[in-house]
Structure 1
Amino acid sequence: MRENEAVKPTIQAVYLAAGLSSRFGGRIKCLQEVGRHGETLLELSVRQLCEAYPAISSLVFVVSEATHLPIHALIGEQFYGLPVYFCVQRVPAWRKRPLGTVDALLAAREHIHGPFIVLNGDSLYGVAALSLVCNHITAAKTACMPGYKLREVLPKEGRVNRAIVQTDERHRVLEIVEQYNIGFEDIEEGRYTGDELTSMNVFGFHDTSIFARADERFRRFLSELEALRDDHHLQQQQQSVKRCSTDENDVYAHKEYILSTMLNELLHDAQIELMVLSCNSIRTPLELTNPGDFAFVKNHLDLVGL
């Protein structure tokens, strides 16, 4: 370190890696070897994060019962010289799917003690975008997210979910609403212009107060979900309906509570200030969602500076 160089405040990183990867054929996306030398996507992501902000103090991986052992085998108890913590996001017995990214965030709560960044384990964001987020949460007293134009973050083939963001003139988020199953054809058919500002599910939080708010909102969601389940079972009993299905079409069985939805609720209740950091001049992120994404990511690492 140079004599006059200031010591950066430390931050922690939370990687979300508990998803089912249903669109990707059930394979663990973050463990796919997309690097030029056989590196997994997760290895490349952590490398870029450490380059973006050298004062990362620890890595927290939110995993599922299915992804825990494979990811642990790669990461171990230390990774890139950083201590590693694993948190298992468990699925209730009455469901087959996780309860969403808010539940995943809450799983990491006991290990987070100050500013932290949350990011998907199946995405590569590039050093510049990660640096923006990390530097913001150590200098400002607001949460933040990088913002991208919709057309820049849609896969060439297939569909994805994206949160559309509305901001004011000071780049404060007014609304963030998840849109489901978006593809390029939606732009071609005029449903979107392609210039909409979107989230790539990477957020920075300057302190741990988000956990109390997330816990309150998640408990409310869970109560509503359990009421739906109980009502569904009551209707079955009253109608004497015997079903052999796994209730996959029932709302309580698949509905999730996700970060963008929670943040939107907090924004409407003035419980959080969320800033958008413009990424218009920054490299386009890469992610694995559909099977066809693997070849694209592997062959276009230059888009995130690799």
Structure 2
Amino acid sequence: MESTKHALSLVVLAGGLGSRFGGNKQIAEITGLGCTIMELSIHDSYAAGITQVVLVINQAVRAEIENTILPRLPAQLEVILVEQRIDLIPKQFAEIAKHRTKPWGTGHALLCAKEYIHNPAIVITADDYYGATSFKLISEHFKNQSNWAMVGYPIADTLSAEGGVNRGVCQIQSECLQGVVEYLNIKDENGDLMGDTPTGIREKIADNALGSMSFWGITPTLFDSLERGFAEFLQKHDSGVRKEYYLPDQIQKLILTKKQKVSVYIAQEPWYGVTYKSELQEVAEKLYELRHG
């Protein structure tokens, strides 16, 4: 099936190395379910009408995904594996790549999928569980509209018992995204949501604030902007820095320059994410309950 015939695609960003997690968390199976979080998302997206999936992976997990995960996915899905390689950058910056050990970030990961996406697409990360209804929300959005979209999750529902969390807090006006501000060390303190602003001021976050958990609905027009932005990023940062090229920053830039409107939908199900291995068991239990409750 040719890519142009797909009404809606899914891009799963699974190329990160999971350094804090201590291994490739993208392929860690959920106890009791016999599959990964990524597979749950793919099945949920398939139920919402997705017919093509592009998995952006690192080379280290390719064999495992081909042998274990792909056979468990719906046979009707077109699944494409794309490796996010450090040397996949414009030729004039080839020298920089030789000194880089870490992947270039989510903006570059999505760029690796460019040649396969010719229609609207949902973009997610492999290690987050978003809930089946989130895929349906964006699927419905693209049946009626051509602008981009995102699903935001109530921040109060994304806190961790392990301690403070960092979240991109959505600034919203008329149900459209105006920007995302990164707050650090967000915790519930005596019934108030508190977090540190980018300038280090501890302040209250609105009880109904939404967090951007990397659930985007995009169209192919994003890729040209991503390419331009990546070249600018490489020009600006030499190989000595470990800086990453982030997708949300590029989307925000396009919102600010009035080149793109991003509709915001509120998640109807909980988000579950795994940052540390110690959280995997607890998340596994919650997901098992959700799917078999």
The interval holding the TM-score normalised by the smaller chain is: 0.7 to 0.9
d(CA) in 1 for partners of 2:103, 2:167: 19
Q: Quote the residue 1:301 is aligned against.
A: 287
SS at match of 1:201: strand
d(CA) in 1 for partners of 2:166, 2:60: 23
> After superposition, what is the alpha-carbon deviation per residue over 1:193-251, rounded to whole angstroms, capped at 9, x for unaligned?
3542211101001x31111111111111111013xx4xxxxxxxxxxxxxxxxxxxxxx
Q: Is 1:265–2:269 an aligned residue pair?
A: no
d(CA) in 2 for partners of 1:256, 1:303: 36
Deviation at 1:155, TM superposition (A): 2.3
The TM-score, its normalising length taken from structure 2, stands at 0.83
Deviation at 1:63, TM superposition (A): 0.7
The TM-score, its normalising length taken from structure 1, stands at 0.80
Q: Quote the residue 1:29 is aligned against.
A: 25
- The verdict on how the C-alpha distance between 1:11 and 1:77 changes in structure 2, with shifts beyond 3 A counting, is farther
Q: Which has the larger radius of gyration?
A: 1
- The verdict on how the C-alpha distance between 1:219 and 1:138 changes in structure 2, with shifts beyond 3 A counting, is farther
- The verdict on how the C-alpha distance between 1:83 and 1:221 changes in structure 2, with shifts beyond 3 A counting, is same
Deviation at 1:287, TM superposition (A): 1.3
Query: When you count strand as a share of all residues, which structure comes out higher?
Result: 2
d(CA) in 2 for partners of 1:93, 1:158: 37
Give, as a single letter, the amino acid of the residue that structure 2 aligns with 1:143: W
Identity of aligned residues (%): 30
SS at match of 2:51: strand
Q: Quote the residue 2:231 is aligned against.
A: 219
Select which of 164, 172, 179 maps to 2:169: 164
d(CA) in 2 for partners of 1:192, 1:20: 33
SS at match of 1:95: coil
Unaligned runs of 5+ in 1: 1-8, 230-251
Deviation at 1:138, TM superposition (A): 2.8
Q: Quote the residue 1:123 is aligned against.
A: 128
Q: Is 1:14–2:2 an aligned residue pair?
A: no
SS at match of 2:160: coil
Unaligned runs of 5+ in 2: 1-5, 87-96, 196-201
d(CA) in 2 for partners of 1:188, 1:291: 26
Q: Is 1:71–2:83 an aligned residue pair?
A: no
Deviation at 1:302, TM superposition (A): 6.1
Q: Quote the residue 1:86 is aligned against.
A: 81
d(CA) in 2 for partners of 1:135, 1:304: 23
RMSD: 2.4
Provide the aligned length of Structure 1 versus Structure 2: 268
- The verdict on how the C-alpha distance between 1:65 and 1:172 changes in structure 2, with shifts beyond 3 A counting, is same
